């Protein structure tokens, strides 16, 4: 009986040790899970901050695109004014040529036509100056957009594919504005000749 009691006591001690080991393992597993949860929460906060930066940059970019669009509309109006003025000058030149050829209308008609040409030329000069100022504004806006695109590109390397769509849209807008600016500058250069 004493031997059986000793054997049972030994088995019980082994069982207790096994339970203790499992308890330690369970505690360690819980601690690891807790650290994993903390890491997950930290990563989620970082992702949230990155998305907020992208959202803010996208909002600023959208505002800048709207400003460029308004400037482009004004630029188009200016281009039409220059074109109309050039057409009027061409018509006036033809009138002067006709008056000179016919001679019947006399010197007064020629003088009036010449004065009209001078007035229109001054108008063309003012329109061209306004055109040049508008081109400089668009250039500055494009430079700002380029910087914002760079900022979005850096944020994109740490975040989701949604930034790709923003970057592509901004690049298309930038290229479109640059193309329009080149057209307007060529028109302004022709007007200055």
pLDDT tens for residues 131-185?
Answer: 556 556 656 665 665 566 566 556 555 555 555 555 565 566 556 656 656 666 6
Evaluate whether 147 touches 176 at the Cβ level (below 8 Å). Answer: no
What is the Cα 89 distance to its own chain's centre? 40
CB atoms under 10 Å from CB of 83, counted, come to 13
Regions in the chain scoring below 70 on pLDDT: 1-9, 11-13, 15, 19, 23, 26-27, 29-31, 33-34, 36-41, 43-44, 47, 51, 54-55, 57-58, 61-62, 65, 68-69, 71-73, 75-193
pLDDT of residue 178: 63
Burial class (CB in 10 A: 0-12, 13-18, 19+), 152: buried
Nearest Cα neighbor of 152 from 79, 70, 60, 57 is 57
Q: Hey, CA dihedral for 51, 54, 59, 62, is it positive or negative?
A: negative
The two three-digit tokens of residue 86, written as one number: 């050039």
Q: Hey, CA dihedral for 167, 170, 176, 180, is it positive or negative?
A: negative
Nearest Cα neighbor of 65 from 136, 166, 159 is 166
Angstrom distance (rounded) from CA 102 to CA 43: 87
Where do we find the tokens 């039409």?
80
Task: Name the phi and psi angles at 159, rounded to 5.
Answer: -145, -160
Angstrom distance (rounded) from CA 177 to CA 68: 8
pLDDT of residue 21: 74
Angstrom distance (rounded) from CA 178 to CA 134: 13
Q: What residue ranges define each of the domains in the chain, with the CATH number in brackets?
A: 48-192 (1.20.58)
């Amino acid at each position: 009986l004493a031997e059986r009691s000793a054997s049972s006591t030994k088995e019980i001690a082994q069982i207790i040790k096994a339970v203790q080991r499992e308890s330690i393992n369970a505690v360690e597993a819980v601690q690891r899970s807790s650290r994993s949860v903390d890491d997950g929460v930290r990563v989620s906060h970082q992702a949230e901050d990155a998305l907020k930066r992208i959202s803010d940059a996208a909002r600023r970019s959208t505002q800048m695109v709207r400003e460029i669009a308004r400037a482009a509309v004004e630029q188009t109006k200016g281009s039409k004014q220059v074109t109309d003025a050039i057409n009027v000058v061409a018509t006036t030149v033809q009138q002067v040529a006709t008056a000179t050829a016919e001679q019947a209308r006399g010197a007064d008609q020629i003088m009036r036509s010449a004065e009209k040409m001078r007035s229109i030329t001054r108008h063309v000069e003012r329109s061209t100056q306004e055109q040049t100022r508008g081109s400089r504004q668009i250039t500055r806006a494009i430079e700002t957009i380029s910087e914002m695109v760079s900022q979005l590109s850096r944020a994109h390397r740490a975040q989701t594919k949604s930034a790709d769509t923003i970057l592509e849209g901004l690049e298309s807008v930038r290229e479109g504005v640059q193309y329009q600016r080149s057209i307007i500058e060529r028109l302004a250069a022709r007007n200055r000749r």
